[in-house]
Amino acid sequence: MSDLVPLTGEPLALDLVNTRPAAGDLLASPDGLRAWWTLEADRLPEGPPTEVMAADLAGVLAVREHVARALARVRTGAEPAAADLAALNRAQRAAPAISELVWTGSAVTATRRRDGTPGVRLAACLAEAAAALLADPAATRIRECEADDCVMLFVATHPRRRWCAAARCGNRMRVARHYQRHKPR
């Protein structure tokens, strides 16, 4: 893609990997991470802090790299590298989720929370989402977009799906094919 517009709506771990479109890196800076975190806020247990630190970005980028490498192997049926799985496990252990119980005066409520800095909590949440995706049989249905200049990944929910998004790459590819068929000779 020639633009740096995030592809969202896939499993959270894929959305993370898809922050590396062919044209650049959406998470190249703490501000980029904050923008993506804000975009994904409804799928995460907490929204972004007012300021995202470089250390927060480093942790998320490390998770992204391990997820990308592990997914590249798992989606073809190959064994992922032990180092990638170990790194994702470490990220989850850095801020394990607990169900914190609180008496509200009339009932007990349980709230999921994690300790640590915002970046460590986000990295743990993303590593947990990656673990769920890697362990899901649907991981073998993950495909790369067939558009010439796109590297986005998606879960093929339909066997004929070829592009990351119809409005994103599908339309461009259909227009290009139409032009090729109808161009003057």
Name the DSSP class of 138. Answer: G
Residue 19 identity? T
pLDDT tens digit sequence for 134-156: 999 989 899 988 887 788 898 88
- Domains with residue ranges and CATH for the chain: 12-182 (1.10.3300.10)
pLDDT tens digit sequence for 72-118: 999 999 999 999 999 999 999 999 999 999 999 999 999 989 999 99
pLDDT at 2 over 70: no
The pTM (predicted TM-score) of the whole model is 0.84
Instruction: At 156, list the tokens.
Output: 């093929």
pLDDT tens digit sequence for 109-133: 999 899 999 999 999 999 999 999 9
Residue 6 CA to its chain's centroid (Å):
10
- Region class of 9: left (phi > 0), else alpha (psi between -120 and 50), else beta: left
